[in-house]
């Protein structure tokens, strides 16, 4: 536990008075500077509205104002947050869970400068010596500039040829992979066209898409028996005109056809079943020329102690640090010391199992957030306000202890640290706590307590009560109805894992970060038939969608509006006829700023309501469509179950949203403003009625207050009691204690993990307590 620094004097405060963003009810708080303040409260109580929407937003606006008037001319005015007084702000840096862009050229090494230091090291002491650090960069090609040119008068002009040495592999252009299609996922060669040889979604044997192939090729002959010419024609033919049933159509080989219609498209824009197919069928092979190292031959030829830069970048960070410590060359000692300092902070923050060559787009939200934190730990800036959004996501209780140390370290460097967090372990280290509530949405928006952690415990607020809450182990667990066999799983770090996942029960998969939980569940369970995976990933087109459009709720509501007013349903869609012409129904005007982030400001014509003025004259139960979309789920449920305004189809969907703990969510809130946890719960609500028998969830307690976790457990119980199998990856001890079966991976992370260290009931896990998870669960339930 930390020693609390001297109390802040009264000038050393961030003062917020009269904050009214979203649901905030004239909130006033005083936050001590250069201290660690944790914001708590049930989800929807207003933590984000205060911390991100008010404090961080105003800090950013003030920074934007420091640009010259010339630059400001290009920037729309960010609206000032709705607050009376904000004093004592310092520059705020947001360290969030937003995943890092999927740019295939960006790796953990390139985003943290670690790779730049490695390049420098290789250019200085690598053998043989081949020139500057760029020669080791896989993002820089080798180019030749110069040569001879002839002027108009015929004079020859010789410019000395210059070769710029980059390290990029010419075949894969520095990506390390080359893409290909897995033919076995596209065609079942043992079958003929009439028995469904084509496995592509939408290509049913007697459907229109296959008719062209049946007209050109022998329809009853198995594909495996095709002649070479037939096979070529089937798979690769260039487009040509043919007639089928007297209709002119274009015939094209299957591969180029689906490449264009499916594989060349933005994956997020595809329908879910097509997207699943594309993900199955697109294989990224290791580049044969560079063997996945992304580097050209010259860069690979240079070694230090027998290893080239590609091999070094592939080491897991803990191993890389150990290797660097064996280099004993005074010339590069300062460089190595700086690099080791950076790598040690990776280890401290629980990321020691990653390698520097890991594509940054493949990091999970929690890993991305911790990577950003590493960047700031090395920063020379002080007196900055760091704002964290649930930094413990993805962390095992064991990892949380280390994360806490780093938060305190940031504070001790003279920074103000603001953390939105639910985990008791992190609340416990706060110098100051601001507890929001008492409820969510309009039932929240107040500060129900501010002060010390001990004060919070004694305060009687829901958070205070839950801080000392201990779960009890279940008396009895459910009986399995069968098993899902996993054999020889070896994705990433998994060491040929054999495991039987029980069916018909609630299974919790545990283990420290990097132990292989996602690799096991996503690699061996997700993708099988009947498995519904519910993740926190962004939802496509999310600027225009909202919970009402995404869950299909808007359909019955529009119909009810149309019926009540005797007009067309399409009028009540902000994506079609009813749209405000100025913002085309998005409610905002988005300005691309090129070199900076894009900024959106509310549309002035419709005031952000998204509809044409005329549409708003039509009412249902006294409300117009924009007003209905401003209702929280809870209120909308009341409306659509009331006798005069009953819409059963809408009420059914709303009840599911309420069930997943989203009663406070506004129907029209843009999906891109939801947190990862909220997104996951919206998806859960949408899938609740699906036929799939197996549900897979990744850390569903993300964003949930301890009080909300109880509701989630009730929901998972209902799913299992309805005959479904539920598999969750979780770190929350309350969820572990509630499991019927636990699968614990470990013992460590990366190559020190990847094995099953325990399978059994929570009670057995506690009784044995041989694993880290067992110890932490034992502490929690005791």
What residues make contact with Zn ion under the rule CB under 5 A?
169, 171-172, 287, 289-290, 580, 582-583, 603, 605-606
Q: Can residue 518 be called a binding residue for ligand ADP (CB under 6 A)? A: yes
> And the tokens for 514?
């990097």
- Find the largest Cα–Cα distance for the chain: 97
Give least dist CB 635 to ligand ADP, A. 11
Q: Can residue 515 be called a binding residue for ligand ADP (CB under 6 A)? A: yes
Please list, residue by residue across 534-554, b when 16 or more beta carbons sit within 10 angstroms of its beta carbon and e when fewer do. bbbeeeeebebbbbbbbbebb
Q: Can residue 300 be called a binding residue for ligand ADP (CB under 6 A)? A: no
Say how far apart CA 606 and CA 446 lie, in whole Å: 30
**C-beta closer to ligand ADP: residue 253 or 441:** 441
Q: Can residue 511 be called a binding residue for ligand ADP (CB under 6 A)? A: yes
Q: Can residue 23 be called a binding residue for ligand ADP (CB under 6 A)? A: yes
Say how far apart CA 40 and CA 420 lie, in whole Å: 6
Q: Which of 303, 565, 669, 672 is in the footprint of ligand ADP by CB under 6 A?
A: 669
Say how far apart CA 378 and CA 503 lie, in whole Å: 47
Say how far apart CA 432 and CA 37 lie, in whole Å: 5
Ranges of beta strands (E only) in 252-411 are 282-286, 303-304, 307-308, 385-389
Q: Sign of torsion, CA 37 40 43 47?
A: negative
- Other CB atoms within 10 A of residue 583 CB: 21
Report the half-sphere exposure of 614 (CA within 13 A, side-chain side).
6
Residue 290: contacted member of ligand ADP, Zn ion, none (CB under 5 to 8 Å, by partner type): Zn ion
**Alpha-carbon torsion, ordered 560, 566, 568, 573, to 10 deg:** -50
Q: Can residue 43 be called a binding residue for ligand ADP (CB under 6 A)? A: yes
Closest CA to 78 of 524, 589, 586: 589
**C-beta closer to Zn ion: residue 300 or 462:** 300
Give least dist CB 289 to ligand ADP, A. 20
Residue 580: contacted member of ligand ADP, Zn ion, none (CB under 5 to 8 Å, by partner type): Zn ion
Give least dist CB 502 to ligand ADP, A. 20
Say how far apart CA 451 and CA 593 lie, in whole Å: 41
Residue 673: contacted member of ligand ADP, Zn ion, none (CB under 5 to 8 Å, by partner type): ligand ADP
Binding mask 200-239 for ligand ADP (x = CB under 6 A): ----------------------------------------
Residue 518: contacted member of Zn ion, ligand ADP, none (CB under 5 to 8 Å, by partner type): ligand ADP
Say how far apart CA 166 and CA 157 lie, in whole Å: 27
Give least dist CB 471 to ligand ADP, A. 22
Q: Which of 117, 453, 513, 532 is in the footprint of ligand ADP by CB under 6 A?
A: 513
**C-beta closer to ligand ADP: residue 47 or 115:** 47
Give least dist CB 580 to Zn ion, A. 3
Residue 289: contacted member of ligand ADP, Zn ion, none (CB under 5 to 8 Å, by partner type): Zn ion
Say how far apart CA 403 and CA 99 lie, in whole Å: 19
Residue 449's DSSP bridge partners are 435
By CB under 6 A, what part of segment 541-600 binds ligand ADP?
Answer: none
Q: Can residue 661 be called a binding residue for ligand ADP (CB under 6 A)? A: no
Q: Can residue 461 be called a binding residue for ligand ADP (CB under 6 A)? A: no
Give least dist CB 300 to Zn ion, A. 10
Residue 180's DSSP bridge partners are 283
Q: Can residue 398 be called a binding residue for ligand ADP (CB under 6 A)? A: no
**Residues contacting 47, CB < 8 A, separation 6+:** 39, 40, 41, 420, 436
**C-beta closer to Zn ion: residue 89 or 603:** 603
CB-CB contact of 212 with 242 (8 Å) = yes
Q: Can residue 519 be called a binding residue for ligand ADP (CB under 6 A)? A: yes
Q: Can residue 672 be called a binding residue for ligand ADP (CB under 6 A)? A: no
Say how far apart CA 136 and CA 297 lie, in whole Å: 10
Ranges of beta strands (E only) in 196-335 are 240-244, 247-251, 282-286, 303-304, 307-308
Q: Can residue 47 be called a binding residue for ligand ADP (CB under 6 A)? A: yes
Q: Can residue 292 be called a binding residue for ligand ADP (CB under 6 A)? A: no
Output the CA–CA distances (angstroms, integers) from residue 526 to 494, 522, 573, in the order listed: 16, 5, 35
Q: Can residue 780 be called a binding residue for ligand ADP (CB under 6 A)? A: no
Q: Can residue 54 be called a binding residue for ligand ADP (CB under 6 A)? A: no
Beta strand 531-534 pairing with 588-591:
unpaired
Say how far apart CA 150 and CA 725 lie, in whole Å: 75
Beta strand 416-420 pairing with 36-40:
parallel
* CA R_g for the chain: 29
Give least dist CB 542 to ligand ADP, A. 12
Give least dist CB 666 to ligand ADP, A. 5
Q: Sign of torsion, CA 373 375 377 379?
A: negative
Binding mask 463-502 for ligand ADP (x = CB under 6 A): -----------------------------xx---------
Give least dist CB 199 to ligand ADP, A. 25
Instruction: Judge residue 704's burial from the number of C-beta atoms within 10 Å of its C-beta, 0-12 exposed, 13-18 middle, 19 or more buried.
Output: buried
Select from 116-124, 424-432, 447-455, 506-514 the region that touches ligand ADP (CB under 6 A).
Answer: 506-514
Q: Which of 36, 168, 313, 354 is in the footprint of ligand ADP by CB under 6 A?
A: 354
> And the tokens for 749?
């992370």
Q: Which of 441, 504, 547, 747 is in the footprint of ligand ADP by CB under 6 A?
A: 441
Q: Which of 41, 504, 663, 748 is in the footprint of ligand ADP by CB under 6 A?
A: 41
Q: Can residue 702 be called a binding residue for ligand ADP (CB under 6 A)? A: no
**C-beta closer to Zn ion: residue 302 or 583:** 583
> And the tokens for 741?
């079966």
Say how far apart CA 35 and CA 4 lie, in whole Å: 9
Number of residues that bind ligand ADP (CB under 6 A): 32
Q: Can residue 369 be called a binding residue for ligand ADP (CB under 6 A)? A: no
Binding site for ligand ADP (CB under 6 A): 22-23, 41, 43-49, 353-354, 358, 362, 436, 441, 492-493, 511, 513-519, 664-666, 669, 673, 750
């Amino acid at each position: 536990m930390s020693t609390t620094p001297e109390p802040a004097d009264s000038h050393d405060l961030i003062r917020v008075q009269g904050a009214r963003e979203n649901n905030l009810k004239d909130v006033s708080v005083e936050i001590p500077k250069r201290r660690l303040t944790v914001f708590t409260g049930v989800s929807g109580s207003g933590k984000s509205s205060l911390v991100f929407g008010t404090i961080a937003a105003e800090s950013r606006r003030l920074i934007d104002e420091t640009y010259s008037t010339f630059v400001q001319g290009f920037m729309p005015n960010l609206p000032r947050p709705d607050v009376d007084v904000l004093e004592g702000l310092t520059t705020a840096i947001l360290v969030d869970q937003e995943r890092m862009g999927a740019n295939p050229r960006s790796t953990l090494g390139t985003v943290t400068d670690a790779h730049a230091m490695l390049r420098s090291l290789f250019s200085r002491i690598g053998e043989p010596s081949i020139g500057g650090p760029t020669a080791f960069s896989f993002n820089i090609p080798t180019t030749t500039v110069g040569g001879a040119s002839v002027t108009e008068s015929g004079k020859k002009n010789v410019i000395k040829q210059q070769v710029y040495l980059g390290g990029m592999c010419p075949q894969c252009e520095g990506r390390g992979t080359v893409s290909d299609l897995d033919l076995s996922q596209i065609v079942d060669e043992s079958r003929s066209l009439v028995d469904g040889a084509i496995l592509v979604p939408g290509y049913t044997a007697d459907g229109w898409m296959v008719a062209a192939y049946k007209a050109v090729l022998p329809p009853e002959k198995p594909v495996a028996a095709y002649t070479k010419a037939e096979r070529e024609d089937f798979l690769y033919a260039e487009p040509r005109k043919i007639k089928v049933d007297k209709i002119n159509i274009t015939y094209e080989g299957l591969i180029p056809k689906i490449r264009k219609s499916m594989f060349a498209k933005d994956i997020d824009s595809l329908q879910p079943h097509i997207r699943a197919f594309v993900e199955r069928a697109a294989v990224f092979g290791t580049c044969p020329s560079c063997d996945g190292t992304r580097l050209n031959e010259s860069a690979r030829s240079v070694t230090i102690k027998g290893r080239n830069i590609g091999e070094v970048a592939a080491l897991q960070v803990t191993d890389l640090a150990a290797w660097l410590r064996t280099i004993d060359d005074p010339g590069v000692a300062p460089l190595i010391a700086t690099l080791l300092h950076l790598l040690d902070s990776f280890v401290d923050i629980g990321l020691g199992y990653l390698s520097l060559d890991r594509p940054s787009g493949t990091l999970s939200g929690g890993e991305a957030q911790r990577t950003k934190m590493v960047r700031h730990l090395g920063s020379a800036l002080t007196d900055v306000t760091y704002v964290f959004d649930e930094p413990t996501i993805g962390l095992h209780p064991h990892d949380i202890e280390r994360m806490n140390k780093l938060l305190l370290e940031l504070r001790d460097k003279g920074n103000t640290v603001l953390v939105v967090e639910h985990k008791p372990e992190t609340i416990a280290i706060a110098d100051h706590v601001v507890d929001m509530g008492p409820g969510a949405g309009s039932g929240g928006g107040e500060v129900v307590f501010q002060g010390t952690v001990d004060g919070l415990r004694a305060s009687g607020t829901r958070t205070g009560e839950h801080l000392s809450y201990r779960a009890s182990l279940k008396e009895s667990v459910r009986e399995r109805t069968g098993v899902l066999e996993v054999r020889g799983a070896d994705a990433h770090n998994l060491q040929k894992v054999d495991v039987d996942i029980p069916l018909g029960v609630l299974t919790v998969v545990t283990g420290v970060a990097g132990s292989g939980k996602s690799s096991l569940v996503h690699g061996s369970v997700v993708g099988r038939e009947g498995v519904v995976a519910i993740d926190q990933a962004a939802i496509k087109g999310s600027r225009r969608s909202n919970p009402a459009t995404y869950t299909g709720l808007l359909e019955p509501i529009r119909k009810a509006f149309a019926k009540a007013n005797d007009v067309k349903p399409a009028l009540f869609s902000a994506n079609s006829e009813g749209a405000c012409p100025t913002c085309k129904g998005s409610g905002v005007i988005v300005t691309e700023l090129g070199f900076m982030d894009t900024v959106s400001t509310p549309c002035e014509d419709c005031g952000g309501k998204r509809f044409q003025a005329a549409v708003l004259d039509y009412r249902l139960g006294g409300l117009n469509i924009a007003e209905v979309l401003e209702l929280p789920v809870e209120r909308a449920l009341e409306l659509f179950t009331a006798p005069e305004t009953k819409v059963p189809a809408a009420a059914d969907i709303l009840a599911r949203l309420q069930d997943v703990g989203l009663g406070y969510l506004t129907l029209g809130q843009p999906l891109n403003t939801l947190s990862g946890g909220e997104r996951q719960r919206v998806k859960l609500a949408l899938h609740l009625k699906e036929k799939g028998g197996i549900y897979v969830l990744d850390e569903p307690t993300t964003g949930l207050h301890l009080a909300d976790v109880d509701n989630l457990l009730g929901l998972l119980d209902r799913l299992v009691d309805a005959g479904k199998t539920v598999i969750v990856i979780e770190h929350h001890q309350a969820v572990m204690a509630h499991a019927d079966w636990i699968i614990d991976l470990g013992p460590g992370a990366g190559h020190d993990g990847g094995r099953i260290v325990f399978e059994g009931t929570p009670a057995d896990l506690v009784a044995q307590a041989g694993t880290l998870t067992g110890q932490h669960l034992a502490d929690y339930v005791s």
